[in-house]
Amino acid sequence: MKIRLGISACLLGQEVRFDGGHKHDRFITETLGQYVDFVPVCPEVECGLSIPREAMRLVGEIDHPRLVTVRTRIDYTEQMQTWAERRVQELEGEDLNGFIFKSDSPSSGMERVKVYDDKGMPVKKGIGMFARAFMEHLPLLPVEEEGRLHDPKLRENFIEAIFTFKRWREILEAGPGRKQLVDFHTRQKLLLLAHSPEHYREMGRVVAHINEHPMAEITSRYQDLLLEGLRLKTTPKKNANVLYHLMGYFKKDLTADEKQELLDIIDHYRRGDLPLIVPITLVNHYVRKYDQAYLKEQYYLHPHPLELQLRNHA
Ligand code: SF4
């Protein structure tokens, strides 16, 4: 089953922009596209505007701006909001694992969109009108902009989140029993720890009391914590802590030399001298060499397909 991602249609190469052009992003279509089914959304076209059309911008209050054409000042705020309210309800039924928005757009931008005051001065603090409706309706779903996906760390975090959420969805679709939830949690433990030690502990408490509450209550609480936790970014410090923690599983296996080599490599990674893939590759080597059953099952060591090369730069 492929991951389903909502996406601003122009990023797929669809010629829907105000000038009839597109903003095709090759990483999205050619690399990510191998693992993802996209659900394209162009708010401006879907709410009834033509191609080409006059360019628009946000004007007025940063938190409640209006969507107005640049030259003729036609106000499309109500038209866009009415359509967006309906469309986000439809998208909720699409089983999306996340959304990739087009940056800087008054309709689709996720953050730092220009909002103009009455003197025509812009402040980069706005949110595109559809992006705002989407994030308010589905506040925990992983979201990113195509521009931020060029940052290796943000890219790795987002893709790890959507792959983890997909695995969770598969568990939900199978109608999870208590055992399935405990198994899922056990295999995600180190990955959760790398995002948020607090969420990791709280999810552990939910799982520990699994027999004391109705299953629907448990899965809903667990899902909220999972999505909240995944939104917190991993950092070299958090990853290094997980790697040190992970070394404890090899206490009796590693020779003094192997232990020292691994410690040195984790240290180099923490200081930014090496990418994450280097300590992870060495750990995976020891997992195979010493047949570490618990670590073999940990998604932290294989969170997404290697072909995405996400940890080569993170
Ligand atoms: S940025 Fe959004 S509204 Fe503009 S063309 Fe792309 S999908 Fe359509």
Q: Residue 197's pLDDT is what?
A: 96
Q: Is the pLDDT of residue 313 over 70?
A: no
Q: Is the pLDDT of residue 310 over 90?
A: no
Q: How far is the CA of 130 from the centre of ligand 1 (A)?
A: 10
Query: Closest Cα to residue 165, out of 147, 126, 192, 136?
Result: 192
CB 20 within 8 A of CB 77: no
Distance, in Å, from the CA atom of 153 to the CA atom of 313, rounded to the nearest integer, reads 8
Taking only the tens place, the pLDDT of each residue in 210-265 is 999 999 999 999 999 999 999 999 999 999 999 999 999 998 999 999 999 999 99
More confident residue, 177 or 91: 91
Whether the CB of 145 sits within 6 Å of ligand 1: no
Q: Is the pLDDT of residue 1 over 80?
A: no
Q: Residue 221's pLDDT is what?
A: 96
Neighbours of 234 (CB within 10 A): 21
Identify the band that residue 303 occupies on the pLDDT scale cut at 50, 70 and 90.
confident
Identify the band that residue 161 occupies on the pLDDT scale cut at 50, 70 and 90.
very high
Q: Whose CA is nearest to atom 4 of ligand 1?
A: 17
Taking only the tens place, the pLDDT of each residue in 11-38 is 999 999 999 999 999 999 998 999 999 9
Q: Is the pLDDT of residue 177 over 90?
A: no
Neighbours of 304 (CB within 10 A): 19
Q: Whose CA is nearest to atom 8 of ligand 1?
A: 42
Q: How far is the CA of 109 from the centre of ligand 1 (A)?
A: 9
Identify the band that residue 314 occupies on the pLDDT scale cut at 50, 70 and 90.
low
Whether the CB of 44 sits within 6 Å of ligand 1: yes
Taking only the tens place, the pLDDT of each residue in 119-140 is 999 999 999 999 999 999 999 9
